[in-house]
Amino acid sequence: MQFSKRAAKAKFTVKDMQAFADATPLQTSNSVLSLKSTGTMAKGSSALHNAIRASTGRTSLIPSEEGAGYSVDISFGGKTFEVILDTGSSDLWLAEAGVKCVDETMTRVPTAECGFGPLASATFQAGQIASENFNISYGDGESLTGVLGYESVGLANITVDKQEVALVREAYWKGDNVTSGLMGFAFPSLTSAFSGTDPSVDNENTTAVPYTNWIFNAIDKGLINPMFSLAIERGSKGGGGQLALGGLPDIDFNHTFTSTPLKIIELTPHAIEAKNYSYYTIVPDGFLLSGEEDTYYGYQEFSEHPSTTYPVIVDSGTTLVYLPERIADIVNALFDPPSVYIEEEGVYENYCDATPPTFAIRINGTDFYISSADLLLTGELGLDTETGGCVTGVQPMDGGIYILGDVFLKNVVAVFDIGASEMRFAPHEKY
């Protein structure tokens, strides 16, 4: 089997930052929300895919990423809306009544073509910010602009008053007719507010105006412990799960946790992102796998060099696991039969009844195994209707940006301990 060649990876750097608090005590949260599978993904995380696009000149979105997001219900100004949850971006935005929808050529089209759910009121209860505008674009070409203001926003039984949020007034969007917007849980350095009222002159380095987003406001105001956790469950259309604010989800799982520090990762030339926490980034120890005896005898760790480290972003808004090219090639070669790299799609695929290898990601000395059900996506989520094949769960990524998406997260309970600047993981096997 001959594999296609891909572009060389770009350089990047990471920094350690001292945690500013002890690890948050772990207990079941009183503020737990159900995650719902939605037909609109979190765009592979807006800011993250913008960084990939800047680094590699292309987006990494592939067929299995489409229609693979998770949503939660929020209270916004006293009304309930369903929004996409994204740990790889930071803004909360809703499409407002009267939103102007456009196509890829920026030509106006009927509002229904954007596929938004219920639209929000065109006013903020606590007032609009006159000197700022909202402006965000996505790796797949979609874009949104609008205004910012203050609103009362609640999740579960937690409400943040006067939260800075965005109402979208113009959108190129491909929605699911259910979700009305998106809520980001990443660090405030990734927010998309800019000074002035003209989006055409917005600049990440000179006019960006970072603000405190909902999850950090809830922590700063003492409404929740400084953490949240995710338990994502698999299903033929993406699955569901729980988001727990300030604690652990209310599910049965192995409570043996492994912790690892968050890193600052310099992916883009944007000064704010480069010098501050942005994504939930960790550095695994390595990887572990086994396959056919004529290829590997038992389990084997592998890396390109003992001193090589690969920072990875933990992201609920990305479906797959994206790893360095050589590692992804080895994993896919150990499928039975070996997976094939489809150049036109930019993705590894295999027969939908193929046998995956045993594969684990080692984090601070603990091996977290990925289920074979996630290493080969055989449901609607992973079927390529053009080839008849199924997408594999581990894919190559160039540009030095690697991601642990839902293929990994479905096998763990993930704790985003903001207070201690660390991630904690426990096996999630009992479902």
For residue 206, which phi and psi values (nearest 5 degrees)?
A: -120, -25
Task: In whole angstroms, give the CA distance from residue 353 to residue 339.
Answer: 12
Q: Using alpha carbons, select from 180, 124, 118, 173 the residue that is nearest to residue 147.
A: 124
- Residue 98 identity: G
Q: Which helix (H) or strand (E) holds 313?
A: strand 312-314
Alpha-carbon radius of gyration of the chain: 21
Residue with tokens 């772990």: 26
Q: Find the catalytic residue in 315, 329, 398, 417.
A: 315
Catalytic, 315? Answer yes
Task: In whole angstroms, give the CA distance from residue 263 to residue 312.
Answer: 10
Q: Find the catalytic residue in 86, 374, 398, 417.
A: 86
Q: Which two tokens stand for residue 132?
A: 């700022």
Burial 107-138 (b: 16+ CB within 10 A, else e): eeeebebbbbbebbeeebeeeebeebbbbbbb
Q: Using alpha carbons, select from 193, 195, 191 the residue that is nearest to residue 216.
A: 191
* 52 touches 401 (CB < 8 A): yes
Task: In whole angstroms, give the CA distance from residue 95 to residue 121.
Answer: 9
The answer to whether the bond into 199 is cis (omega within 30° of 0) is no
Question: Do strands 92-102 and 158-172 pair parallel, antiparallel, or not at all (unpaired)?
Answer: parallel
Catalytic, 22? Answer no
* 180 touches 168 (CB < 8 A): no
Q: Using alpha carbons, select from 219, 224, 204 the residue that is nearest to residue 273.
A: 204
| Cβ-based burial of 222 (10 A; exposed 0-12, middle 13-18, buried ≥19) | exposed
| Strands of the sheet with 286-290, listed across from one edge | 300-302, 286-290, 358-363, 366-369
Q: Using alpha carbons, select from 101, 83, 82 the residue that is nearest to residue 168.
A: 101
Q: Which two tokens stand for residue 327?
A: 């590692």
Q: Using alpha carbons, select from 115, 50, 117 the residue that is nearest to residue 82.
A: 117
Q: Which residues are marked as active site?
A: 86, 315
